[in-house]
Structures are given as structure tokens and as C-alpha cells.
């Protein structure tokens, strides 16, 4: 049996930092010497190659152009490698993992995002475990075929579907959660994979790279006291093509007529409005309460149990396809990459 070939893509973030012993300042780690710096990697039963962004970035500077760079690296090397591990800052990792899930259509190999809360050179670092186990997860094979065939995120002993995750803590090592979908695997004494929750893509289809993303979108988080001029300013913007409204509970919003009328006017003019709940877990169910029936009536799209991060990626992705309004709504409400139930 041949050892799996894994490509490690370093984009930036804390994971790739090391403390200068003299000055104590954090600086980017040289990934070309990865195996010398982390000799434990030699014990893994796979061949590892690395590719690094020319200038690694803090993930707060991540954007759709960088997503396309990552997606292109993967698609160009798709036949050479059995799995991909993307090292990424944790701050926007859930957005990137979601975006890559849409960009890589018919993916049938593992793409695992990981990062860390402490730099790899720190004594108490979580980076080594996250990196080593991500590589192991990406190397898992069954009868010569990868076990994981989707975009995932690995952090602090758990492997999640990437487009289901949210960063929930800026301090704890357990920085991510997936509240609406069970984790895909767990690392303990053994690696336990919950096979029943994995995506099962159609293996007969070729990988299609879709890097077009339309960024003319916005997010409007509702709060008690939200004012008409502000909502008006957002909805009547000439540029906006898609808007996520973050609503209360199971998709509820104020029933005040100015609010519903403004939304209806915008929808009639062609704006795609998606309803996503502000709650960390649970689903939008428009029509369950009086406070959401009006949204359903005027044609607001249900985000169901999608995360805001995945909704951003899906909205950008679908807008770039120039679908008819009705098709747009149906397509958004359909799970494309396991991002909603
Ligand atoms: N600010 C960093 C980033 O997201 C934090 C991290 O790497 O976890 O790039």
C-alpha cells in the first residue's frame, strides 16, 4: 500500500508563528523547514509537502480572492495529493471553510482547515496536536480511497463539517462548535470517525472549480429599537444584491408595517433576502409564529439552520450564477454541500 500524499497549505494565522527567542516577538515560521522544526511529523504514515502563501496573512484580511488562491492550489494539485490540510487563522476560518465547500464542487478528497490559539513555537501550544491530527484525518483511507470527502475543520480533538462551524471562543482551546450538525470525528486514544455523518459525494463526477463570488451582499442584525432610516439605507442601496437578516429565535422579526413594507419593496425590486437566526443553534421556521409569517408571505428566503458564515459564502456563490429569482430561492433553500439540514 502506498503512503498517502498530503499537501499542507499555509495561509497564515497564529498557528504558523514562532517566538523569536531573543526579542520575544511573534514572527512567521518557515514552513519549508517544517519537518526539522516538528520532527514528530516524520512519524506520520504519509508523505507531506508544503506550500505557503508568499506573504502569510492574519485571517482578518481573508477575502474571496484569497479563497480562490486556496481553491486553485487544491484543484491544480488534486490528482497528485490524497488530502489537503489548510493552515489558517482561526478568526475567519469558518467563513473560508464554508466558501471552499462551495468552490470545490464534486470534491471527493479531504480538505481540512486547522489553526491554533497559541503559536506553534509556544510551550503550551495547541498547534501541534491540531496539525498532527488534521494530517492524520486527511490521511485516513479505506481500500485505497479517502475516508473523508469534504471540507472540514479540525480543532481541539474534534473534526467538524467546515460549513457548519462557528468560532465560539477567543480564549479557549475549544474555539469552534457545530451546533446544528454532529462532529464528524473525534480524536482520543483512537481516531473515531462517525461515518454516518460524512458527506457521500458522487464519486463518478470530476472536481469543478468555482471561484466566482459576488461580494455585493450585506448582513443586517435585528435588535429591539432598530430604526427605519437605517434599514432603509441598507435596503435601498443601489449596490446590494443579497442581504442576510439575522432574526430572533426561529426566524422572527418585528411586525411593524414600515419594516415589512421596506423588505417587500426591496424583494420586489430583485433583492434576495435570507433569514438566518441570531441563535447559535436551531433553525428558522417561517410561519411558526405570527412574527415570521409576514416574512414568508413576502418571499424572504429561509436560511433554515445554516450558520451566518455559510450563508455569506452561499449567497456570494449563488449570486455569481445570476439565477432567476424563483430558482435562486429554491437553490438557496436546498442543501448543496451539507450546509443545512
Ligand atoms: N488573528 C488570528 C487569525 O485569525 C488568530 C488565529 O490565528 O487564531 O489570523
Express each pLDDT in 10-29 by its tens digit.
999 988 887 777 888 777 77
Answer CATH for 5-209 from 2.30.31.70, 3.30.70.2740, 3.40.50.1170, 3.20.20.70: 3.40.50.1170
Atom of ligand 1 nearest to the CA of 91: 4
Residue 202: count of CB within 10 angstroms of its CB: 7
The answer to whether 5-209 and 217-332 have equal CATH topology is yes
* Of 320, 248, 327, 238, nearest in space to 280 by CA: 248
Q: What is the pLDDT of residue 25?
A: 78
Q: What is the pLDDT of residue 341?
A: 95
CA dist 48 and 74 (Å) reads 14
* CA dihedral sign of residues 140, 141, 147, 148: positive
329 CA to centre of ligand 1 in angstroms: 34
Atom of ligand 1 nearest to the CA of 116: 8
217-332: CATH class:
alpha beta
Q: What is the pLDDT of residue 73?
A: 98
CA dist 96 and 99 (Å) reads 5
Q: What is the pLDDT of residue 103?
A: 98
Residues 62/139, Cβ–Cβ less than 8 Å:
no
CA dist 70 and 202 (Å) reads 23
| Domain ranges within the chain, ordered by starting residue | 5-209, 217-332
90 CA to centre of ligand 1 in angstroms: 5
Residues 313/95, Cβ–Cβ less than 8 Å:
yes
**Binding-site residues, ligand 1, Cβ < 6 A:** 12-14, 58-60, 89-91, 115
| CA distances, 71 to each of 77, 147, 215, 243, 333 (Å) | 10, 20, 17, 25, 24
SS3 category, 32: helix
Atom of ligand 1 nearest to the CA of 117: 8
For 219, list phi and psi in degrees, rounded to 5. -125, 130
Q: What is the pLDDT of residue 39?
A: 86
Q: Which residues are catalytic?
A: 14
Parts of the chain with a pLDDT under 70 = none
Q: What is the pLDDT of residue 173?
A: 93
| CA distances, 134 to each of 139, 228, 242 (Å) | 9, 47, 34
* Of 186, 96, 198, nearest in space to 145 by CA: 198
Q: What is the pLDDT of residue 14?
A: 87
17 CA to centre of ligand 1 in angstroms: 10
Q: What is the pLDDT of residue 157?
A: 97
Amino acid at each position: 500500500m502506498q503512503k498517502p500524499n498530503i499537501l499542507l497549505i499555509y495561509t497564515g494565522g497564529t498557528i504558523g508563528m514562532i517566538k523569536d527567542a531573543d526579542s520575544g516577538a511573534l514572527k512567521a515560521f518557515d514552513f519549508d523547514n517544517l519537518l526539522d522544526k516538528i520532527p514528530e511529523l516524520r512519524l506520520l504514515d504519509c508523505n507531506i509537502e508544503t506550500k505557503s502563501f508568499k506573504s502569510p496573512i492574519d485571517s482578518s484580511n481573508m477575502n474571496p480572492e484569497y479563497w480562490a488562491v486556496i481553491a486553485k492550489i487544491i484543484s491544480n494539485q488534486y490528482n497528485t495529493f490524497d488530502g489537503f490540510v489548510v493552515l489558517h487563522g482561526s478568526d475567519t476560518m469558518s467563513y473560508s471553510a464554508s466558501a471552499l465547500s462551495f468552490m470545490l464542487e464534486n470534491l471527493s478528497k479531504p480538505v481540512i482547515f486547522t489553526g491554533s490559539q497559541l503559536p506553534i513555537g509556544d510551550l503550551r501550544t495547541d498547534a501541534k496536536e491540531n496539525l498532527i491530527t488534521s494530517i492524520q484525518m486527511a490521511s485516513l483511507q479505506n481500500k485505497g480511497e479517502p475516508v473523508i470527502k469534504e471540507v472540514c475543520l479540525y480543532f481541539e480533538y474534534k473534526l467538524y463539517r467546515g460549513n457548519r462551524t462557528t468560532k465560539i471562543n477567543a480564549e479557549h482551546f475549544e474555539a469552534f462548535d457545530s451546533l446544528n450538525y454532529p462532529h464528524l470525528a473525534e480524536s482520543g486514544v483512537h481516531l473515531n470517525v462517525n461515518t454516518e455523518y460524512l458527506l457521500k459525494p458522487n464519486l463518478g463526477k470530476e472536481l469543478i472549480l468555482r471561484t466566482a463570488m459576488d461580494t455585493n451582499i450585506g448582513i443586517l442584525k435585528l435588535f429591539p429599537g432598530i430604526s427605519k432610516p437605517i434599514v432603509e439605507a441598507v435596503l435601498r442601496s443601489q449596490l446590494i444584491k443579497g442581504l442576510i437578516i439575522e432574526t430572533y429565535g426561529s426566524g422572527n422579526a418585528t411586525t411593524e408595517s414600515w419594516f415589512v413594507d421596506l423588505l417587500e419593496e426591496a424583494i420586489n425590486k430583485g433583492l434576495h433576502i435570507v433569514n438566518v437566526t441570531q441563535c447559535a443553534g436551531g433553525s428558522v421556521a417561517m410561519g411558526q409564529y405570527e412574527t415570521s409569517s409576514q416574512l414568508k408571505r413576502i418571499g424572504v428566503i429561509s436560511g433554515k439552520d445554516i450558520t451566518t458564515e455559510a450563508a455569506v459564502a452561499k449567497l456570494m456563490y449563488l449570486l455569481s450564477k445570476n439565477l432567476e429569482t424563483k430558482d435562486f430561492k429554491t437553490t438557496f433553500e436546498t442543501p448543496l454541500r451539507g450546509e443545512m439540514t
